[in-house]
Structure 1
């Protein structure tokens, strides 16, 4: 049966979306192509009608996930007063809900260590998306000039992502909560004007 171009694009997008969740949950090598296709409701045999290789799917899937994170940060910033925008992002990112929901969270803590061991092509694609994240975060350091804001953003993201990794390793107990709290304080101390936003519901911060 021949499918329309629109149907193929919709199917392709569904595979990427499903794969982005499963890869963040299981890791880049924790799930095979057959399982990824099954999650999307398709057979293994149809994989190469959409992707040249497994690497191509991985690149698209983590790119999709990173774009969703950046979009989510923009949404959070847009809903907050200017002086609260950085805090809104940090509070949502370093939350128990994000810690406990890797499949719909940031791809960097979930996949970064594995991507570092992938091919130059994969690392280059990952770095390009990371650079976009840095640029978006730099916009939140309004008191800083261009280069300084970028450096602050890099430090903030490194702290946030590293904190999330450690909090997940520690589980969901007291140590994990302490790590999240310490990470939030460390980032926001770099931006004295940032205020802690009002408490958010678990639903509102689960996808970050």
Structure 2
């Protein structure tokens, strides 16, 4: 029986979601198509009905992870005062929960592999980085006091994003040791923007 368009779309989405988890767990190179399809409860023979190549799947899975991350950071940032959005994003990203997520940030999980990937995958990854950078830049602009003589919001956001990615990577590497949570807490403290001190007349 021929599958409906809805069933085909659902199957494709399932492969993407399973691949996000498998790439986080085993890396891109360590995740073969047979294993990926088996994890999705499918046979390898059906793969090419949904994707042109493994690189196509990696690009789609990376985009899905980026979109998910952006939605989470935007949501947590919108749940309080505008000036608190950046700190909320930092706290969410550098949390034990994010460290332990089965997928999470694709840059921290797959950064070196994405750098070696084919151009379509790199393009998706770079665009995702730029989108995340733009969100953090906007949040920083609302958080920093007026007249702040420090670096530009984009420069500060770029430094912060790179620190976030590095800290999460180390925290995952040291998982099970005290260093893991120490890294998360230390970088969280350093990145969060302090509210301006009120001055008395």
TM-score, with length taken from structure 2: 0.88
Q: Which residue does the alignment assign to 1:135?
A: 134
Counterparts of 1:6 and 1:175, CA distance in 2 = 46
Q: Which residue does the alignment assign to 2:183?
A: 179
Q: Which residue does the alignment assign to 1:18?
A: 18
Larger radius of gyration: 2
SS at match of 2:18: helix
- Which residue of the other structure, out of 165, 169, 172, is the alignment partner of 2:173? 169
Q: What RMSD, in angstroms, separates the aligned Cα atoms of the two structures?
A: 1.8
Looking at both structures, which has the greater relative contact order when contacts are Cα pairs under 8 Å and sequence separation is at least 6? 1
Counterparts of 2:176 and 2:153, CA distance in 1 = 33
Q: Which structure 1 residue ranges, 5 or more long, are not aligned?
A: 195-208
Counterparts of 1:99 and 1:13, CA distance in 2 = 24
Counterparts of 1:60 and 1:155, CA distance in 2 = 27
Q: Which structure 2 residue ranges, 5 or more long, are not aligned?
A: 197-201
For 1:42-191, list aligned pairs within 5 A.
42-101=42-101, 103-141=102-140, 142=142, 143=144, 148-188=152-192, 191=193
Instruction: Check whether the contact 2:55–2:120 (CA below 8 A) recurs between aligned residues.
Output: no
Counterparts of 1:35 and 1:83, CA distance in 2 = 45
TM-score, with length taken from structure 1: 0.85
Instruction: Check whether the contact 2:62–2:124 (CA below 8 A) recurs between aligned residues.
Output: no
Counterparts of 1:14 and 1:177, CA distance in 2 = 32
Counterparts of 2:14 and 2:173, CA distance in 1 = 30
Matched, 1:193 2:195: yes
Counterparts of 1:172 and 1:152, CA distance in 2 = 31
Shift of 1:9: 1.3
- Name segments (4+ residues, structure 1) moved above 4 Å: none
